[in-house]
Chain A
């Protein structure tokens, strides 16, 4: 099996199929963590902040960590995906 410079399998012959696989998964990989993190923040707001219950601070902090962590990786991923699609046109 050939490999490219970064040690990934050489998939240039199956690129069309792979890009399709990637495009199917991309919305799931991006949307689910955002929904989960926003749900955690909502839990903190509705059960903790509005009820003045500090035990829900964990939901807020973890929600922010998941949200920020995912956005940091989503942005370059989407940028590279758009660039790739533009180059193929």
Chain B
């Protein structure tokens, strides 16, 4: 009798252990899926390699707007309940009744590609697509403070690379300001907006204002472009 009880207890324990393992794997999978989705967004920089001919400009805008309209429609149908939120892989609980973070990300990328010079847009898109998941991963392993410090250097790298043709002091200043804004914008939690939007737009707007302000004083600090159209 005692042996049967023990074996039942043992089986129950094994079953619980296996269930926990499977659930942990599902969580882990969602987690990496979101990270890969973020990193994928760096491919949008291909936009700058598209030909810069007059006939190509409306096509470029149409492609960008088309993608955005599709995502907006998808989100509208999901929030209205026509599409089940459970079929959207990796959605967070707080995103159930508001637009998903990928919509905010898409809007930020669209604004950067259309309205900002590429020297400002490229590092901001890299901060959103690679900096944000790196910061998240570092926070997960080392805690908030260490993650912010290490993430700051990664974001600085993105700004330095994009401004490498500028004077050294300009490159370093822009990298420090941009990285600080990106890390600060990502660290704060928002109710209406999303950190995927803010990590891209905050440094972009600050650097744009700095550039315009300094340009107004007679100095143009903006370096030459780093990605060239194919034709």
Give chain A's interface residues, CB within 8 Å of chain B: 1, 3-9, 11-15, 17-18, 21-22, 25-26, 28-30, 32-33, 36, 39-40, 43, 47, 55-59, 61-62, 65-66, 69-70, 72-74, 76-77, 80-81, 83-84, 87
Residue of B nearest to A59 (CB): B227
Contacts of B225 on A, CB cut-off 8 Å?
58
Interface residues on B, range: 35 or more
* Inter-chain contact total with CB atoms closer than 8 Å: 142
Give chain B's interface residues, CB within 8 Å of chain A: 21-23, 25-33, 35-40, 42-43, 45-46, 49, 84-87, 89-96, 122, 126, 129-130, 133, 157-158, 161-162, 164, 224-228, 230
Known: A59-B228, A87-B22. A11 touches B89 (CB 8 A): yes
Q: Could you show 10 A-B contacts with beta carbons less than 8 Å apart?
A: A4-B23, A7-B93, A18-B86, A32-B43, A56-B228, A58-B164, A66-B130, A69-B42, A77-B36, A80-B29
Interface of B is mostly: helix
Interface of A is mostly: helix
A32 vs B40: C-alpha distance when bound (angstroms): 7
Which one of A8, A76, A77 lies within 8 Å of B27 (CB-CB)? A8
Contacts of B21 on A, CB cut-off 8 Å?
87
Q: Do B39 and A73 touch across chains, with their CB atoms under 8 A apart?
A: yes
Q: Do A55 and B89 touch across chains, with their CB atoms under 8 A apart?
A: no
A1 vs B43: C-alpha distance when bound (angstroms): 34
Which one of B87, B89, B122 lies within 8 Å of A62 (CB-CB)? B122
A9 vs B87: C-alpha distance when bound (angstroms): 10
Q: Do A69 and B130 touch across chains, with their CB atoms under 8 A apart?
A: yes
Which one of A7, A33, A73 lies within 8 Å of B133 (CB-CB)? A73
Residue of B nearest to A32 (CB): B43
A52 vs B191: C-alpha distance when bound (angstroms): 51
Q: Do B37 and A21 touch across chains, with their CB atoms under 8 A apart?
A: no
